[in-house]
Chain A
Amino acid sequence: MMRFIFLFALSLVLVASCKKRVAPYAENRQMIRLNLHTEPPTLDARKATDTSSIGIISMCFEGLMKRGKNGTIIPAMAHGVETSQDNRVYTFHLRDAKWWDGREITAYDFESTWKTILDPKFPSGFANDLYILKNGWAVKNGELSSAHLGVKTIDRKTLQVQLEYPIPYFLDLVASHSFFGIPAHIATHFPKWADEAGPLFVGNGPYKLKKWKHHNCIVLEKNPLYWDSDVVALDQIELTIIEDSNTELNMFESGELDWAGYPLSTLPTDAIQALINDQRLNRYPLSGTYYYIFNVQEFPFNNVKMRKAFSLAINRKSIIENITQSDQTPATSFIPPTIWDVQAHFKDHDLEEAQKLFDEALEEMGYTKSSLPKITLTYNTSEAHHKIAQAIQEQWYRAFGIRVRLSNVEWKVFLDELSHKQFQIARMGGIAGFNDPMTFFDLYKYPDSSNNYSGWTNHEFTSLIELAERTPDIEKRKSLLRKAEEVFMSEMPIAPIYYYQGSYLKKNYLKGVQLSEFSEADFKFAFLETP
């Protein structure tokens, strides 16, 4: 019997050993392999809200404008744009370009896409991004028909857009995925056009969707009909869909992937130190802030001094050096440095001040250290949040001598508790949607807006923001927003911790990838440097 077992095992080993090696990269072909962290829930540009979907959509579609290097906005589908005197009307002139199936791209494609998104019955998760269009909100809420929307096709190649009020960052918005256009001739007839790769899935970007095996892989190939296809060097992009970041790193190390990490997925936190030591880790700034949010409507953080005390006691530098290790900057303000120069509103790890404020707050609320009821820090399940929370819990203990309770809750329960304001402090974070402080301030404009989980409100802040919205002069607007941030930080409804950085690994032979601070990766100019 032992012999039998032995032979069986031996045969398994023999079978296993005759296999081909995996080539480091396909010779003679410009093909790269990436990993997408999760399966995209949808590839319909009108519905997508998550980074995976948007990542793929950005490779297959292009909007009227596009984000270029160093924060510039460059023409894309539109070769030119004019603005009216009052900056309320934008006229886009489309270039000669075709969809994959050869049909011409017209202004009507964009008009119909935007109108569909704002249709009251259409389930689009980001429709509010389009409320800047004249009557956008009214159309979505069914008060006006879509004919009243401030979008008009003047002729096949000319699109006129009217805004509710002028904003300096409209072109940046237009470059974002929320304003992409999809082929009207397909979408109107085939509502399920984006469910699979196939003849119905038609885009206008540098790459075509060749294959989509759900939860398995996505294959993109060069789009020969793309207007700028001459500069596209890659023939094929293959994306595996593997959720485990350790596995992804392993695949990168064994040569099965050419890229690991941000923005398409993440690197395992435990590996970061080793990668830094090897000097292989690349890091770049993102337009976002990681912060803890206070519920200002409930004890104990209805007291401003308490909030400030907790915020000042955090040793951000230590967390960045030891836990996140992506070369982040300690956040001493809300708006990250990618949007404007940071004006520090407090000192990181100002223990003296923190303890003073804490004692004062206790007195004001009528408690002593021992009689203070338990405070809970809520966060959702994730390796990084878990580590940071534990470190900060210990920091608060050292600063104040009280033990904050950690509540690691499941994702949906976390969202539920946030929206119902059933928390005291919670972990939060946000990446900018566009290159303007409004993307962050918008969230806290009103106490009852759905994104304002803290419930904070301040009359001065709200009026400053509203005024800034209507101010066309850029400098004046900026100073209003600066003042708004001062008011915001003086009340500390949030405790900013660090400004995001993306970290990734890539093979040296892969060049030309453009990374934006909005978590986008542009592979249009990517190529493989053959040795």
Chain B
Amino acid sequence: MIRFLLKKIFILFLSLFMVASLTFALMQMIPGDPFTQEKAVPEEILKAMYHHYGLDQPWYVQYYRYMKGLITFDLGPSFKYQGRTVTEIIREGFPVSMTLGFEALILSIFFGIALGSLAALKHLKWQDHITMVIAVLGISIPSFILATFLQYLISMKFDLLPVARWGSFDHSILPALSLAALPTAFIARLTRSNMVEIMQEDYIQTARSKGLNSFQIVIRHALRNALLPVVTYLGPLTTAILTGSFAVEKIFGIPGLGQWFVMSITNRDYTVIMGTTVFYSAILMLCVLLVDILYCLIDPRIQLINKKVRA
């Protein structure tokens, strides 16, 4: 088991290194730099800025510096937001996004599985149709439209919740709902799709004839097998949701990490791009690893872990 984990961790670091290198290469290739403004900055001043941040060095020197920094967790200063380091930015923004993401995740897992199971149990009856229409709306209305709509309806018209900002639980309700809509819908549909197939299986018939009611059947037998694709989806979903959504955070004025992913690129803030990318990648790979481990737990027939190593 230990060897298994060690091997995985080694691969993780290797992958992170690849991600960092590829991102570095991309950044060098696209036009634009962090210091240009509409009112052009004179040459000598640009030179001074470049020198100050080490951007006038040849690319391999910059590359080496970035890599060294990554290893020592020194992600460098932001070029645009002077006086702030990338580590600070991540440290301040991530907990906010994570809290919000957690709420949304819990909502979507719970409601998604519940709705999907309901639809599968009442296959082709009206409950199935209603839940599926709701699910489709969740998929086809993107989070920013839902966010604006909720903000207008609930905050403005009915004055039930604050319009924006972050601070109390109240502030997190609307953004969490906006974020949760799409995952809920997708999880519901994935669950339903698999559940419908599983309900045809013989062992379900056996359970039914033994006298178990639908609820018990679902929880004890059907769910475990139906959840595999949901678990697959949860890997990247968790990463995306925990690192924050650009659109929802912008609309609700939430100081999370999500806006940085887009903003850093628009600003050509190289260090922030690198820092956030590697951070995101690390979380993604961790989640994917967890998903693989969950696979084995859910369905012991899946052999990802080498039999010899399993202890």
Q: Interface of A with B (CB < 8 Å)? A: 1-2, 4-5, 8, 12, 15-17, 19, 21-22, 39, 41-42, 44, 47, 49-50, 120-125, 127-128, 140-141, 192, 194-196, 213-216, 240-244, 246-247, 250-251, 253-254, 256, 410-413, 415-417, 419, 428, 430, 450-451, 453
Contacts and interface: CB of A to CB of B under 8 A. Distances in A.
Contacts of B84: 195, 214
B69 interface: no
Contact of A253 (B36, B82, B156): B156
B163 interface: yes
B42 interface: yes
Interface string B151-165: 110011001111111
Contact of B83 (A44, A216, A246, A428): A44
B164 A247 contact: yes
Interface in B214-252: 215, 250-252
A125 B35 CA distance: 8
A254 B45 contact: no
B255 interface: yes
Nearest to B267: A412
A42 B168 CA distance: 28
A246 B75 CA distance: 34
Contacts of B31: 412-413, 416-417
B82 A243 contact: no
Contacts of A253: 156
B45 A412 contact: no
Nearest to B266: A411
Nearest to B81: A41
A140 B49 CA distance: 13
Contact of B161 (A16, A39, A123): A16
A125 B41 contact: yes
A281 B92 CA distance: 37
A429 to B, nearest CB: 8
B151 A412 contact: no
A242 B165 contact: yes
Contact of A214 (B37, B51, B155, B255): B255
A412 B36 contact: yes
Contacts of B117: 1
A250 B117 CA distance: 39
Contacts of A5: 111, 114
Contacts of A122: 48
22 contacts: A1-B114, A15-B169, A47-B82, A120-B44, A123-B45, A125-B41, A127-B42, A128-B45, A241-B255, A242-B253, A247-B151, A250-B151, A254-B156, A254-B159, A411-B32, A412-B31, A412-B32, A412-B33, A415-B36, A416-B36, A451-B39, A453-B40
B137 interface: no
A19 B169 CA distance: 10
A125 B45 contact: yes
B49 A125 contact: yes
A167 to B, nearest CB: 19
A16 B160 contact: yes
Contacts of B123: none
A254 B251 contact: no
B166 interface: yes
A417 to B, nearest CB: 8
Contacts of B42: 127-128, 450
A209 B168 CA distance: 24
B89 to A, nearest CB: 8
Residue in B37, B173, B255 with the greatest tally of chain A CB atoms within 10 Å: B255
Contacts of B161: 16, 19
A196 B82 CA distance: 11
Given A8-B110, A42-B81, A411-B266, A244 B250 contact: yes
Nearest to A120: B48
B87 interface: no
A279 B63 CA distance: 57
The DSSP consensus for interface residues of chain A is loop
Contact of A450 (B32, B41, B51): B41
Shortest 6 CB-CB contacts between residues of A and residues of B: A412-B32, A195-B83, A242-B253, A450-B40, A416-B31, A215-B255
A265 to B, nearest CB: 12
Interface in B234-289: 250-253, 255, 259, 266-268
A250 B80 contact: no
B201 interface: no
A4 B164 CA distance: 30
B202 interface: no
Contacts of A413: 30-32
B162 A256 contact: yes
B170 interface: yes
Contacts of A241: 253, 255
Contacts of B35: 125
A281 to B, nearest CB: 19
A163 B107 CA distance: 66
**Among the interface residues A2, A213, A416, which one has the most CB atoms of the partner chain B within 10 A?**
A416
A254 B161 CA distance: 11
Nearest to A257: B163
Nearest to B89: A214
B185 interface: no
Nearest to A9: B111
A251 B40 CA distance: 35
Contacts of B152: 250
Contacts of B32: 410-413, 415-416
Interface string B81-124: 11110000100110000000000000000110010011000000
B160 A17 contact: yes
B27 to A, nearest CB: 12
A123 B83 contact: no
B255 A240 contact: no
B251 A247 contact: yes
B250 A243 contact: yes
Contacts of A256: 162-163
Given A247-B253, A250-B163, A419-B36, A450 B43 contact: yes
Nearest to B31: A416
Given A17-B160, A214-B89, A247-B164, 4 more contacts: A243-B250, A246-B148, A412-B32, A413-B30
Nearest to B166: A216
Contact of B163 (A50, A195, A247): A247
B40 A419 contact: yes
A22 B252 contact: no
Nearest to A4: B114
B163 to A, nearest CB: 5
A521 B148 CA distance: 30
A121 B51 contact: yes
B48 A240 contact: no
A69 B215 CA distance: 75
Nearest to B47: A120
A254 B43 contact: no
A41 B250 contact: no
B81 to A, nearest CB: 5
B266 A412 contact: yes
Contacts of B125: none
B52 A121 contact: yes
Nearest to A216: B255
Contacts of B80: 41
B82 A141 contact: no
A240 B253 contact: yes
Given A49-B37, A240-B253, A254-B156, A121 B164 contact: no
A217 to B, nearest CB: 8
A159 B169 CA distance: 55
